[in-house]
Structure 1
Amino acid sequence: MEQIVCKTSDVQPGEMMKSSFGKQNLLVCRTPDGEFYAFLNQCIHQGAPLDKGMMCGATTDSSQPGDYQYSHEGEIIRCPWHGREFDIKNEGRMLANPSKKIPSFKVRVEEENVIVYK
């Protein structure tokens, strides 16, 4: 099964939008480098709609206490209810527990169409 879920112009780099894939609620993300990704629009923790959250970056510890580095800008989905964070470019894996991830879908772009398929 495959389906056009949006146009490339519907989602600017660093943004996300809600769509649907068959009967499933879908989250389409476009990272700052222009790549498209698609996930089930539901947090694996308690089912929050991820499109109500935000795309952001992540902090990483440095060698100095209290000194943090910010990275992966626009590559992290943050859940609106409890702040769970998922790595868009790493199959939607949870940052705090990479063994867990939000279900993802394959995406391809043809002309101006963003197509999701299994």
Structure 2
Amino acid sequence: MKSNVKELERTVVCKKSEMQPGDRKVVQVRRISILVVRKEDEFYAVRNACPHQGAEFEKGVLRGAARATSEIKEVYYEKPGGFIYCPWHHWSFDVETGCSMHDPENTKIKTFEVKVEADEVVVYA
């Protein structure tokens, strides 16, 4: 009996020590371009294409989300290093959840499981 469940492919990205916080690497799994980012000691993986017009996130900025405070001209950054920004139109997505900063319920990008196994960063897609 054939199962409809697709088996995830295991892809080694690099050694853990080869990526520092804020670094990113792109891997191809089947025909999917996946962006792997390191935030502090955690690794996250998202589809490397903005849903708006397909720009590659690898060319965008990885930073926190700017939020205003009650003081005029004062801004703080929520989740430093936790949002990837589209290089074309600056749409931003949380690398942990894939949710858009501005429309989290309706606009998302695909996320993938990332594990550190014997000092190797591995993506399952």
TM-score, shorter chain, exceeding 0.5: yes
TM-score w.r.t. structure 1 length? 0.89
TM-fit CA distance, 1:66: 3.0
TM-fit CA distance, 1:83: 0.4
TM-fit CA distance, 1:70: 2.2
Matches of residues 57-76 of structure 1 in structure 2 within 5 Å? 57-76=64-83
- Residue type of the partner of 1:35? E
**Structure 2 residue corresponding to 1:49, chosen from 56, 77, 90:** 56
**Structure 1 residue corresponding to 2:29, chosen from 7, 14, 21:** 21
Could you say what secondary structure the match of 1:69 adopts?
A: strand
Do structure 1's residue 102 and structure 2's residue 119 form an aligned pair?
A: no
Query: How many Å separate the matches in 1 of 2:67 and 2:38?
Result: 23
Whether the 8 Å CA contact 1:5–1:20 is kept in 2: the answer is no
TM-score w.r.t. structure 2 length? 0.84
Runs of 4+ in structure 1 displaced over 6 angstroms? none
**Structure 2 residue corresponding to 1:92, chosen from 71, 95, 98:** 98
Structure 2 gap ranges (5+): 1-7
Measured on the aligned residues, the alpha-carbon RMSD in Å equals 1.4
Structure 1 gap ranges (5+): none
**Count of aligned positions:** 116
Q: Which sits farther off after the overlay, 36-45 or 64-73? A: 64-73
| Larger strand proportion of the pair | 1
Query: How many Å separate the matches in 2 of 1:45 and 1:94?
Result: 11
